[in-house]
A and B are shown apart, each in its own frame.
Chain A
């Protein structure tokens, strides 16, 4: 049954990469059920993350946000700051898609803090870019400029001319 769980997860990922998002969700939900049965929190975390990603491409941003919140909660439980940062970044982008910019900013700021703690300059640059855009959407140009300047500085440092 543990192997069946892994196979279901792999099937979910294969369908996802083929762009079969509804099929992917069916497999990841079954994978999640087996992970819960075994009390396997790492596998539950992966399933929630995969479910969040698949729902984005079906335009169900509300459901993605719920799955990403579960991912975030489990990443903290598992003390995995890399996944915690990724979950915050996903939540920030999802709330931008939902046009809930205050919430987007809340999560992008959390992502920024973790990226700084981890010394992840690429992540920090992406957080600044996202914050710059979210503040523009809110009409807060002063904060947008602050993050645009940081984004420029980091892009030059890491050699990203784009």
Chain B
């Protein structure tokens, strides 16, 4: 289960890394 969770998280982690620098500018 823990391994599944880790696999699950890699695509989400990548998204969150990109999200840190993502803003919808005025």
Interface residues of A (CB under 8 A from B): 6, 9-10, 13, 16-17, 19, 43, 45-46, 49-50, 53, 56-57, 89-90, 93, 96-97, 126, 129-130, 132-134, 136-137
Contacts and interface: CB of A to CB of B under 8 A. Distances in A.
Interface of B: 4-5, 7-12, 15-16, 19-26
A49 B5 CA distance: 27
A137 B11 contact: no
A136 B11 contact: no
28 contacts: A10-B25, A13-B23, A13-B24, A13-B26, A16-B23, A17-B21, A17-B23, A43-B26, A45-B24, A46-B24, A46-B25, A46-B26, A49-B24, A53-B23, A56-B16, A57-B20, A90-B15, A93-B16, A96-B11, A126-B15, A130-B12, A132-B11, A133-B10, A136-B7, A136-B8, A137-B4, A137-B5, A137-B8
Given A53-B19, A136-B7, A137-B4, A93 B24 contact: no
Contacts of B26: 6, 9-10, 13, 43, 46
Nearest to B22: A53
Top 4 nearest A-B pairs (CB, nearest first) are A46-B24, A13-B23, A9-B26, A6-B26
Given A136-B4, A137-B4, A129 B11 contact: yes
From DSSP, what is the main secondary structure of chain A's interface residues? helix
A133 B11 contact: yes
A133 B8 contact: yes
Nearest to A83: B24
Given A53-B19, A133-B7, A137-B4, A97 B12 contact: yes
Given A50-B23, A50-B24, A129-B11, 16 more contacts: A6-B26, A17-B21, A46-B25, A49-B24, A56-B19, A93-B16, A96-B8, A97-B12, A132-B11, A133-B7, A133-B8, A133-B10, A133-B12, A136-B4, A136-B7, A137-B7
